[in-house]
Every structure is written in C-alpha cells, then in structure tokens.
Structure 1
Amino acid sequence: MPRQQQSATRPARRRSYDQFCATARSLDSVGDRWTLLIVRELLAGPRRYTDLHADLPGVSTDVLASRLKDMEQGGLATRRRLPPPAAASVYELTERGRGLLPVLAALAEWGAPALTERRPTDAVRAHWFALPLLRALDGLTHAGVVEVQLDEGEFHVRAGGATAGGMAGGTENSTAVAAVYGDGPADHADARIALDVEVCLALGRGELTLAEAVEDGRVEVSGDGPLVAELRGE
C-alpha cells in the first residue's frame, strides 16, 4: 500500500524521444495530441479555458488542462488574470510559442489538399481558415486589418506582414501581445472581404491568386483606403 501511494504521488515524467536532435526536441514540446491545435487557437490572442474548450471539439477537459500545463512548463504559454471587471484568467502564447506560426502555416499548406470535402463528423470554425488565407495576403504592400466574412462566420487577419503580428483581435488583446488573427469581427477594419471556404482554400493552396479571385467576383472587397484599393487591384 505505501508503495502504491508513493507511486501515485510521484510527478509523472514527460515523455521524450531522448534524441540529441532539434526535430526530436521540438516534438518533445509540441508532439503530443492537441498541443499544436491549442497553439492555433492562441495565435488568435489570449483565450479563456472555456473558450479554448469550446473551439477544440473532441478534447476532454483533463487533456486540455494537462496540455496547457505542459505548455506553461515548456515556456510556450502563460496564464494571467484579467483586470476587473473581467475577473477571469486567460492563456496566451509566449514569444517562443508565437514562433510556431510558420510551423502551423506550413502544416496548413501541406494539409490543404486533404480538405477535398467536409465529412459529416467534421467541426468547423471560421477562424480556422485564417492560416490558409494569410498566405494569399502576405504579399500585400499596404498593411492593415482585413475582416473576413465566410458563410461559417467572421474572423480578421493582418495583411502586409501578418507573420510579425501587431493587431488587436478582441477585448482581451488590447493589453496582451499582438495576435496574427482573431475570431469574430475586428474592432477596426481597414478592409472587408467576403468569400466562400472553397475560394479561401484555393487561395491558400496557391491554385488561385487574390487578384484573380477579386477580378472574377469570387472575392468581394468593401471599404475605403489604400489597402482596399490594393485588394481591388486599383
């Protein structure tokens, strides 16, 4: 009995590949199931635990709590208390955690051909399409916040240097590190575009350019200013 109690209270050792290799070390940190998807959510800015759980369909509360704890211990995320009247805690990425953006973008590009059709069991959130769309917007000269309207909902991204961050993506983001995209409408949008998921994915795969999509009417652009003019090809 004492031996069993001692074993139950001993802290579990995190699994490691035990290889002196950068790839193996990376997977020691982010190779567990759900970790990179949590990063995907936190790239949209600070999130409450309940919001993370709602936007990660299929993850159990125990697994989510465990992954967040591992991410804190690994220096990928931190937790902080919002000032009154919010009286809630949020999780956010550290600089090292935000450095995973190109990794997620590369995975999204690599995995895009697998999105041939939506399965009946597939969940969907509008902001999950931010990463594919960032590729199409990355070459824009004028920087600004682009609000994106899909049938599935709204999100917003920063055009013209999105990988560097620098946008306010919601009520919590104003006091936190910059996010590269955000769920829902923007507090202030420099441009607005409307398109469907298939066009968004085609843009992300490089099968269609933004100029082509705007010209043939598959992307509708609204607003005023230099960013809008560039999106319209003017």
Structure 2
Amino acid sequence: MPRRSYDHYCAVSRALDIVGDRWNLLVVRELCSGPRRYSDLFADLPGISTDVLAARLKELERDDILTRRKVGPRTATAVYELTPTGMALRPALEALSAWGTEHLGERRPTDAVRAHWFALPLGRAVAEVLPIGTATVHIGDTVLHYNITAAGITHHDGPAPASDLEFHLDLATAAEVATGARPLPDHSPSAL
C-alpha cells in the first residue's frame, strides 16, 4: 500500500507521515520497555485487528522505527524492538503522556486498561521521589523498573538488577498516581 502523505514541507507533517497512522504510536509505546512478540503486541493492543497490526509493524520496520529479530533455539519466534530512531520518539510519547494525563478523566466502562500503560506517568512520579537512581515498581503482577538520570527517565520490563527504591501498587492506586490524584505511597529501600 502506498504511503499517504500530507505533502506539507513541515517537520510535524513529515513526522506524522511516518508515525501518524492510527496505532503507530501505540505500537511504539508498547515497545518502549523492551522487545515484544507479535502475540504480546496483539494482546496489549485491544481493538487492533491482526491485519492492521501486521501492516503497522511492516511499515514501522520499513521506516526504521522498529526491527524484527528472530529468537529462540530454532529462531522460530520473532520479537519486535525499537531501533535508535524509534527510541528517539520517547520524548514525544512523554510529552503526549503528560498532555493526555490532564485529559484522561474517569475510566469509562468500555475502556481497556493494562498496568504497563501507566509506565510513562508513573516514571514522572517516581522521579519526583528519586531524582537520580533506579526504582522497581510492581503493579499487581506487572513489574517495571525505571532508570532516572540527568538525561531523563527510561522504563524497562521486569525488576531492576539493583534498585534504590521499590514500590508496590495495585491497579487502582497506579491509576490515581498516574493521573496525579494522589502521590506515590510509601516506598521501601529495595531489598535487591
């Protein structure tokens, strides 16, 4: 399928030519914390069809936003991960997350939710408590860790090898912290 273009000689327009299609930035959001299999992406993007997901992955790979890599003993499984070009979109996602948090409102009965979708706003909340360092955050069964440096915040799947702080949240508390309705609850120095 040929790429649609706004045909504007404008940096925002060019960026949207590449990542502005429906689902593209959500695929990037899913890959910010690390590589994912197709089945993981499909499970964590409720509402996307398999055809649309496959098309978006091919387009994003073509545009050097992500790469597909075979893994496993017989390389039968593929994972998708962001390239450096794709990781460079993180500040844009951070800005969209900060802006969108103010417009999130109450969760509607039809809204899907995944714990890791709170990773970006929770990272900002963790950085208020820990301006530099590493923190592990448990949200139910989901575990993320944050590396906070002078250069910014990154999040990754799983616990940190060594954390300065550790937080345990349920989904409701994570949502409240992410939306700014409450601060992070008390934390403990990590036992790692």
Q: TM-score, normalised by structure 2?
A: 0.86
User: 142, 146, 159: which one pairs with 2:147?
Assistant: 159
User: 99, 102, 114: which one pairs with 2:88?
Assistant: 99
**1:107 aligns to what SS in structure 2?**
helix
Could you tell me how far 1:92 is from its partner in structure 2? 0.6
**1:118 aligns to what SS in structure 2?**
coil
CA distance in 2, matches of 1:147, 1:103: 24
Aligned length: 187
**Which residue is 2:159 aligned to?**
186
Q: After superposition, where does 1:123-142 map in structure 2 within 5 Å?
A: 123-138=112-127, 140-142=130-132
Q: Which amino acid aligns with 1:155?
A: V
**Which residue is 2:189 aligned to?**
223
**Which residue is 1:143 aligned to?**
133
Q: TM-score, normalised by structure 1?
A: 0.71
* Higher strand fraction (1 or 2): 2
Could you tell me how far 1:109 is from its partner in structure 2? 0.7
Flag the 1:79–1:41 CA change in 2: closer, same or farther, 3 A: same
Give the structure with higher Rg (CA): 1
Q: After superposition, where does 1:1-234 map in structure 2 within 5 Å?
A: 12-84=1-73, 87-138=76-127, 140-144=130-134, 146-151=135-140, 153-161=141-149, 180-183=154-157, 185-186=158-159, 188-190=161-163, 191-195=165-169, 196-203=173-180, 213=183, 219-224=185-190
Contiguous gaps of at least 5 residues in structure 1? 1-11, 166-179, 229-234
Deviations 1:185-230 (A, max 9, x none): 4163513112413432244xxx76xxxx3xxxx51312348xx9xx
CA distance in 1, matches of 2:104, 2:110: 13
Q: Which moved more, 1:31-40 or 1:117-126?
A: 117-126
Deviations 1:138-166 (A, max 9, x none): 3634422x222335x4231323229667x
* Higher helix fraction (1 or 2): 1
Work out whether residues 147 and 154 of structure 1, in 8 Å CA contact, stay in contact via their aligned partners in 2: no
Identical aligned pairs, as a percentage?
Answer: 47
Work out whether residues 138 and 161 of structure 1, in 8 Å CA contact, stay in contact via their aligned partners in 2: no
Work out whether residues 138 and 162 of structure 1, in 8 Å CA contact, stay in contact via their aligned partners in 2: no
Q: Which amino acid aligns with 1:84?
A: P
CA distance in 1, matches of 2:32, 2:189: 26
Deviations 1:43-81 (A, max 9, x none): 011110011000000000000000000001111011011
Q: Which amino acid aligns with 2:73?
A: P
